[in-house]
Amino acid sequence: MTVFRRELAAYFNSPIAYIFIIVFLVLTAGLYMTPFFLQGQADMRAFFGNLPLFLIFFIPAISMRLWAEDKRSGTFELLMTLPLKARDVMLGKYFAALVFYLIALAGTLPIPIMLALLGNPDGGAIFTGYLGAALLGGLYLAVGIFVSGLVRDQITAFILGMIACFFFYLVGIDPVAATVDGWISGLGSFFQGAFGLLGHYDSMLRGVILLGDLAYFVTLSAVFLLLNVYWLEGRKHG
């Protein structure tokens, strides 16, 4: 809890955090409102559909500082001397970043409230859409915190985090999988099924929660968090 409180306070003690939240809300709402007024439909599929690509830029901006800043400022060595398990330090940082993201996501709740006043939206699809958005953000953050541990510079962590998150987005696109299949038979389909996030995310946009989709996000997030723990243990005892 000590690391969690420290990291969460670090976000909100800086004006950059509030700028991030404002930019997130303005861009997500702006990208959604145009198709909403054009289509005149009381649903949020367009809103949630934009998030996998949009969060590729937003989430690495949150996660880039998690380890890179500590190593740059010299506080990383201090963290390693605390009587805490590497797992607890890492989870404290991860959940602080996740809470910050969820607070930003919660700022979009006026959208479904507005839809409820204007029409009769599918509440189940909205709920599963927010669940998918939370799981998506959790996965991107797990990737981002792992990448942040590999470098000392925040900008490098940001760029590499975007590239890593974009990989999981890209391999889930049908034309990309088909193109790779054309080069090496079955390879694109394998990567799409094993790593592509869009198929697992899109089902939640339709109001469907499948165990396989939940397992995808939870398992892949856990893998990157576990890799981060192994890296941290190596640095702590190395």
Predicted local distance difference test score (pLDDT) of residue 215 = 96
Q: CA 157 → CA 16, 56, 145, distances in Å? A: 17, 13, 9
For residue 41, the enclosing domain spans 2-237
The whole-model pTM stands at 0.92
Predicted local distance difference test score (pLDDT) of residue 165 = 96
Per-10-residue mean pLDDT, the chain, length 238: 84 84 87 67 82 94 84 73 80 94 94 85 92 97 92 90 95 90 88 90 92 96 94 73
Look at the chain and report how many structural domains it folds into: 1
* DSSP conformation class of 172: T
φ/ψ bin of 173: left (φ > 0), alpha (ψ from -120 to 50), beta (otherwise): beta
